[in-house]
């Protein structure tokens, strides 16, 4: 029988023979517990220790006869139990952080997740962390942690496109690959990654590109970092640029809007009037909006609200190429922040602006430096 260990807090080992599924980790900074409650399965003290932080998502869901769709059903302990091969090369800890679909995730959840993961990684016996997370907002959640984590130990986000009721669930294999990556000496200095279907993506570049296919996460022209197969990691690229901003709370409200042909700017004005502290606009082409939207942008700027310009186009960057009304050069001249030299895309630019505003306030020069990094 394998030995089961419960840690509360991490580092205090209390041996027992059996355990029930552990409760969810208290999330509040002001709650009764600031230390993650970790359940450990110790197979061999000589093996590295990897902690799986479970947040929910399709990987932890099963088909419901009542609703006809997938619903949360499995704990992190259940997910690990479905991958018995893990015991051959790692001791596994589990933190049941939450069990929600990632469409219900919010920046406040990621802030608490970032602090939880940092506390786990602060323990010298922990090699790294695997975060199981829904795929809908995994690109944003992983980027949030890449920005804010203090530790440089490996953190791998993974999940599933098929729920646990599927005849061919992809979750167990993805967990196996994620743990393999965490302990691999060939997968260092990548920051937070998203690793599914064997491919490794940098958090700052990854995007979900397909609604149902298991090969959904890609990094476009930036390319994959590596590939996991048969217990080994093949390294393709290094991650040379990473922004780091200390996590500061509370996080301000930042609106994300997409412009379009015939846009009259009403949504920009609405965001301003509703109290947004920052606005991100997914513009057309290389960074352009029409005249009415430009007038609304000027209204936001007049209220000292920073406006970041991204593009609806996946590849390329936002550039001050066009000088007519609402063109990139015009927007830059009037005080907008252009997401360049590499456009993060609207959702991640919103995360970056939110975290930066919380730390540095409405300092346009500093914000521009962060986006131009």
Cα-based distances in Å from 111 to 135, 143, 145, 250:
18, 11, 8, 9
End-to-end CA distance of the chain: give it in Å, rounded: 52
**Alpha-carbon gap, residue 5 to 3, rounded angstroms:** 7
**Alpha-carbon gap, residue 174 to 95, rounded angstroms:** 18
pLDDT in tens, 333-353: 999 999 988 889 999 999 999
Please identify every stretch of the chain with a pLDDT value under 50, giving residue numbers as ranges. 1-33
Q: Catalogue all structural domains in the chain, each as residue range(s) with its CATH number.
A: 3-235 (3.40.50.1170), 254-371 (3.40.50.40)
Dihedral sign for Cα 168, 171, 177, 180, please. Answer: negative
Report pTM: 0.90
pLDDT at site 303? 97
pLDDT at site 35? 79
pLDDT at site 343? 82
Known catalytic residues? Answer: 58
Phi, psi of 5 (to 5 degrees): -125, 135
């Amino acid at each position: 029988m394998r030995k089961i260990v419960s840690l509360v807090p991490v580092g205090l080992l209390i041996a027992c023979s059996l355990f029930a599924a552990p409760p969810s980790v208290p999330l509040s900074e002001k709650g009764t517990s600031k230390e993650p409650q970790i359940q450990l399965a110790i197979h061999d003290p000589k093996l590295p220790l990897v902690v799986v932080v479970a947040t929910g998502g399709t990987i932890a869901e099963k088909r419901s006869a009542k609703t006809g769709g997938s619903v949360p059903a499995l704990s992190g302990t259940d997910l690990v139990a479905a991958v018995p091969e893990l015991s051959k090369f790692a001791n596994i800890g589990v933190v049941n952080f939450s069990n929600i679909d990632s469409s219900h995730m919010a920046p406040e959840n990621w802030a608490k997740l970032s602090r939880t993961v940092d506390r786990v990684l602060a323990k010298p016996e922990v090699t790294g962390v695997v975060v199981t997370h829904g795929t809908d907002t995994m690109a944003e959640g992983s980027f949030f942690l890449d920005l804010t984590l203090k530790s440089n130990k490996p953190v791998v986000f993974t999940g599933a496109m098929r729920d646990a009721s599927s005849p061919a669930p992809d979750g167990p294999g993805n967990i196996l690959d994620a743990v393999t990556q965490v302990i691999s000496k060939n997968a260092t200095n990548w920051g937070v990654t998203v690793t599914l279907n064997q491919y490794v993506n940098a958090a700052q570049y990854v995007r979900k590109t397909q609604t149902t296919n298991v090969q959904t996460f890609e990094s476009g022209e930036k390319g994959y970092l590596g590939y996991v197969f048969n217990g080994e990691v093949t390294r393709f690229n290094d991650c040379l640029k990473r922004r780091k901003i200390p996590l500061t709370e509370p996080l301000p409200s930042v609106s994300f809007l997409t412009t379009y042909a015939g846009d009259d700017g009403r949504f920009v004005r609405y965001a301003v009037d509703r109290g947004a502290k920052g606005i991100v606009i997914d513009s057309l082409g290389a960074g352009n909006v029409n005249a009415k939207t430009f007038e609304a942008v000027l209204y936001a700027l007049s209220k000292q609200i920073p406006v970041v310009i991204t593009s609806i186009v996946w590849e390329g960057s936002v550039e001050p190429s066009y000088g007519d009304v609402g063109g990139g050069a015009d927007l830059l001249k009037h005080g907008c922040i252009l997401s360049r030299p590499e456009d993060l895309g609207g959702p991640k630019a919103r995360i970056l602006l939110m975290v930066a505003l919380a730390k540095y306030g409405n300092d346009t020069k500093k914000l521009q430096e962060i986006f131009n990094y």
